[in-house]
Amino acid sequence: MLVALVALAALSGAANGQQSTKDSARPIKLVAFGDSLTAGLGLPLASAFPAKLEAALRGKGYKVDVVNAGVSGDTVADGLARLDWSIPQDADAVIVELGANDALRGLDPKLARSGLDEIVKRLRQRNVAVMLAGMYAPRNLGPDYSAQFDPIYPDLAKAYDLPLYPFFLDGVAADPNLNQADGLHPTAAGVGIIVARILPTIEALLTKVSAQRS
């Protein structure tokens, strides 16, 4: 009987060790959850933000799969409505890039704030790491609107202790050489700049995820 128990324990330990090794070997699943800026409107999929981000991360040695969960035209409310089925159950981390369409349409910033807050809460309940990619309101909406909209992302990042990239279009916005004809969506070169600038924040996120998995 004792021999059988020892053998069973050894088998169990070996199985657990194999499972642990398998889990650590599994690539981190990082979901880019956003609107057309994530989806890559007007670009081939290989030139969209998720694909270029995955290539950049793998080029630096990270074992990561980046999922494109961007839907063109989505507001924060639209993203919240599809959150549960858009984020795979095995997701390790999510970059939330939403709010640009809320600002372009002049929607009440309180709606964007409450929607993003709920998105963060639901993802954290699933033990998914979250990073916020921020947005600034168009200045033609006036200083009052900007004063309500712009702080949404840093406020939520502080409240939930989240990594924050303050402005997703940093270095690209309003540059005709880096945007498509509509002046709103980056070219492939523009996406490349976004990836290069956002990379350190995402690397910090992946380091956190790896520590939690070890």
Active site residues: 36, 182, 185
Let me know: does 172 contact 193? Beta carbons within 8 Å.
yes
Tokens standing for residue 76: 């924060």
Token pair recorded at residue 130? 């979250």
Q: Kindly state the tokens that stand for 2.
A: 């004792």
